[in-house]
Amino acid sequence: VHQKIARRTLLKGAGVALALPWLESVSHASEERLTEPPLRMAFLFMPNGVRPELWTPPGDGEDFEITHHLKPLAPYKNDILLLENLWNKNSVGRNGHWPKVPIWLSGGYVQRTTADDLDTGAVSIDQLAAQRIGDRTPLPSIELGLDAPRTGIDVAGGGFARMYGSFISWRDPHTPVPKEIVPQLAFDRLFRNKRGPVISSVNPKDPALLSALQRDDASVLDVVLEGAKTLRRNGSASDRVRLDEYFESVRSVEQRLEATLRPQKRWINAGKFPLERPVAGIPQDHQEHIRLMLDILVLAFWSDTTRIGTLMLGDAQSNYDYSFLSGVRGGFHSLSHHGNDAGTRDQYGKIVDWHMEQVAYFLGKVKSLDEGGTSLLDNSMIMFGGSLKDGNLHAVEDLPLLLAGRGKGTLRPGRRLRAPVRTPVCNLYLEMLNRMGIQEKSFGDSTGPLQGLA
């Protein structure tokens, strides 16, 4: 127990409180530790497509040339698999943006509802994984982003609820998982809800502990659940859906609180992670915002708080004003529809480049973290890309996608993987699930496992 603390060397003098949750590990005298790092899986989404001619390298061999858009990733060329010819066939002939987003990670078919009953037809890969193996870590998964959810119906744009474009993670076909966009809240989410007993050598069944302050939240929730039984009888069946959602949510929080009393078999990295608790609010500076969220995702993986994460670098049709970039005047989405006007097209390309730089920053971070001989990147599968190719045309084939990391030796990066034209991206997901230890026969609209990853 002692030794672990010494290795972490987290607590020096004052200002301890916010780091205290880290101490949770002390309490688990009986905690078993993993002997090797676990495999992590992340999905980074970028809206509004790319310039295809600056993305796809010429030729068709395994080796590939670093194209303009890929330039920021050049230092990591040997860590990435460039994926070609994957797509979501259910996005054909629909609105340019909204319905493509929820199916990016699921392959489902989005109903054109007015948002009173969203239906994406499927659950996303990250949430499926979280449901299966999320109980192995304090957080089943983490969902991050930069934009607050969109509201209203895009009448002129196809009658889709704009909300569709704000979520890539779907717990079930009808329920998006809200993403955290405030850095401090995201940070706290990693540690705050582990309010386990921070008393050394604790016996979870100890009556003193059961009545302790730390267990107050769990007993409040106990009372809520008990009261719930009566309430459930009153509501009508359809109304019960939302109420049940609450009780289910209560139950899951309670379970998480209880789980802190139960040892989880986790991986503990040596050293201290160089990230302070972010200040409240959303940073003015867009790059600072995005990098904080990326840092938090890295921290979540590094601390083995979760092994599954998604991050949206922007919501569908994001029209964030990128005038802070030199040579760019205007919003991302507006500029993406450049209509082949050379000046506008250049500006659009610059915004895409900027996103690539953020991804490079992320890959640099995960690659630099040592996990006892291998890097965090080696022990990860990080998919980056978007749900449309050419932003100007909303093209749906050959999505711009890449998979970074070695998947603990199950991926052979440094190549491009040219799948047969129009291969479901779900074939890739099937393989990723498999590597996460989730054996599925099919996923979404998969037609079989994607060949050639290893």
Partner 1 sequence: MRALAILFTCGVSVFPQASRGLPGADSEFAETIRPVLVQNCAACHKPENAKGHAPFLRAAKASDMEANRGLWRNVSAQLRNRTMPPRDSKLSEEDRVRLSTWIDARLRQTACSIGDYAGPAITRRLNRREYHNTIRDLLGIDFEVTAILPADGSGGAGFDTNGETLYVPPVLTERYMEAAQQILDRVIVTPALAKTFSAAEMQEFSASIPVYLEGAYDILVAFDGATPETKLLLKIDGAEVGHLNLQRRRIIAGKPAPGPSLARLQFNLSRGSHSIAIVAGDSNIKLSRVSVTQKAEQILPEKRALHYRLFGMEPGEQPGQPRKAARQILESFVPKAIRRPVTAAEIDRFMAMYDRSAERGDPYEERVKLALKTVLVWPEFLFRIEQKHTESGIFPISQYELATRLSYFLWSTSPDDKLLRLAEEGRLQDAKVLAAQVDRMLDDSRSRAFLNSFVGQWLGTQDIGGRVVPLLTELQSYYTPEVAADLRAQPVLLFDRLLGENRSLLELLSADYTHLTQRLAKFYQVENQIQGLSDSEFRLVQWPDSRRAGLLGLGGVLAMTSRHKETSPVLRGAWALDTLLGTPVPPPPPDVPELKKDGAAGRKLTMREKLMEHRANSACAACHKLMDPIGFGLENFDWMGRWRDTEDDGSPLDASGELPSGEKFTGPVELRQALLSRKSEFIGNLAGRMLGYALGRSLQDGDDCTVQHIVQSLEKDDYRARTLIRDIVLSVPFRNSQGGAVETESVISRRSLDISKLNALKQDAASHNNQVKPLPKAATPVGANRP
**Interface positions, 28-87, toward partner 1 (CB under 8 A):** none
* Contact range with partner 1 by CB under 8 A, out of 54-62, 154-162, 270-278, 373-381: 154-162
Q: How far is CA 59 from CA 62, 80, 416, in A?
A: 9, 18, 11
DSSP sequence for 200-221: TT--TT-HHHHTSGGGHHHHHH
Q: Please report how close the Cβ of residue 50 comes to partner 1 at its closest, in angstroms.
A: 18
Question: Does residue 150 touch partner 1 according to CB under 8 A?
Answer: yes
| Size of the chain in residues | 454
Question: Does residue 449 touch partner 1 according to CB under 8 A?
Answer: no
Question: Does residue 161 touch partner 1 according to CB under 8 A?
Answer: yes
Q: Please report how close the Cβ of residue 345 comes to partner 1 at its closest, in angstroms.
A: 12
In degrees to the nearest 10, what's the CA dihedral of 68, 71, 77, 82? -40
Question: Does residue 187 touch partner 1 according to CB under 8 A?
Answer: no
Question: Does residue 258 touch partner 1 according to CB under 8 A?
Answer: no
Question: Does residue 279 touch partner 1 according to CB under 8 A?
Answer: no
Task: Please select the residue that binds partner 1; options are 172, 258, 346, 357, rule is CB under 8 A.
Answer: 172
Rounded to 5 degrees, φ, ψ at 423 are: -85, 135
Q: Please report how close the Cβ of residue 170 comes to partner 1 at its closest, in angstroms.
A: 10
**Comparing C-alpha atoms, which of 405, 409, 410, 412 is closest to residue 380?**
405
Question: Does residue 159 touch partner 1 according to CB under 8 A?
Answer: yes
Confirm if 230 and 214 have CB atoms less than 8 A apart: no
Confirm if 394 and 60 have CB atoms less than 8 A apart: no
Q: Is 281 left (phi over 0), alpha (psi -120 to 50) or beta?
A: left
CA-to-CA distance for 208 and 118, rounded, in angstroms? 47
- If the CB atoms of residues 384 and 443 are measured against partner 1, the closer one turns out to be 443
- If the CB atoms of residues 28 and 415 are measured against partner 1, the closer one turns out to be 28
- If the CB atoms of residues 5 and 360 are measured against partner 1, the closer one turns out to be 5
Task: Please select the residue that binds partner 1; options are 27, 48, 269, 358, rule is CB under 8 A.
Answer: 27
Coil, strand or helix: which one is 356?
helix
Question: Does residue 155 touch partner 1 according to CB under 8 A?
Answer: yes
Task: Please select the residue that binds partner 1; options are 32, 36, 53, 248, rule is CB under 8 A.
Answer: 248
Q: Please report how close the Cβ of residue 443 comes to partner 1 at its closest, in angstroms.
A: 8
Question: Does residue 237 touch partner 1 according to CB under 8 A?
Answer: yes
Task: Please select the residue that binds partner 1; options are 57, 132, 153, 412, rule is CB under 8 A.
Answer: 153
Residues 307-346 that bind partner 1 (CB under 8 A): 319, 321, 323, 329-331, 334-335, 339, 341
Give burial (CB, 10 Å; 0-12/13-18/19+) of 35.
exposed
CA-to-CA distance for 371 and 379, rounded, in angstroms? 9
Q: Which residues contact 77 (CB under 8 A, 6 or more apart)?
A: 66, 414
Show the site string, 115-134: x = touches partner 1 by CB under 8 A, - = not: xxxxx-xxx-----------
Residues 375-434 that bind partner 1 (CB under 8 A): none
Show the site string, 339-378: x = touches partner 1 by CB under 8 A, - = not: x-x-------------------------------------
Size of interface with partner 1, in residues (CB under 8 A)? 121
CA-to-CA distance for 332 and 312, rounded, in angstroms? 15
Task: Please select the residue that binds partner 1; options are 356, 443, 450, 453, rule is CB under 8 A.
Answer: 443
Residues 189-228 that bind partner 1 (CB under 8 A): 189, 192-193, 195, 197-201, 211-214, 216-217, 219-221, 223-224, 226-228
- If the CB atoms of residues 107 and 309 are measured against partner 1, the closer one turns out to be 107
Q: Please report how close the Cβ of residue 454 comes to partner 1 at its closest, in angstroms.
A: 26
CA-to-CA distance for 144 and 12, rounded, in angstroms? 30
Burial 258-293 (b: 16+ CB within 10 A, else e): eebbebbebbebeeeeeeeebeeebbeebeebbbbb
Q: Which residues contact 13 (CB under 8 A, 6 or more apart)?
A: none
- If the CB atoms of residues 202 and 298 are measured against partner 1, the closer one turns out to be 202
Question: Does residue 285 touch partner 1 according to CB under 8 A?
Answer: no
Q: Please report how close the Cβ of residue 220 comes to partner 1 at its closest, in angstroms.
A: 5
Task: Please select the residue that binds partner 1; options are 111, 264, 374, 434, rule is CB under 8 A.
Answer: 111
**Comparing C-alpha atoms, which of 232, 223, 230 is closest to residue 250?**
223
- If the CB atoms of residues 252 and 368 are measured against partner 1, the closer one turns out to be 252
CA-to-CA distance for 43 and 262, rounded, in angstroms? 29
Of the chain, the end-to-end C-alpha distance in Å amounts to 39
Q: Which two tokens stand for residue 124?
A: 């996303």
- If the CB atoms of residues 400 and 444 are measured against partner 1, the closer one turns out to be 444
Question: Does residue 109 touch partner 1 according to CB under 8 A?
Answer: yes
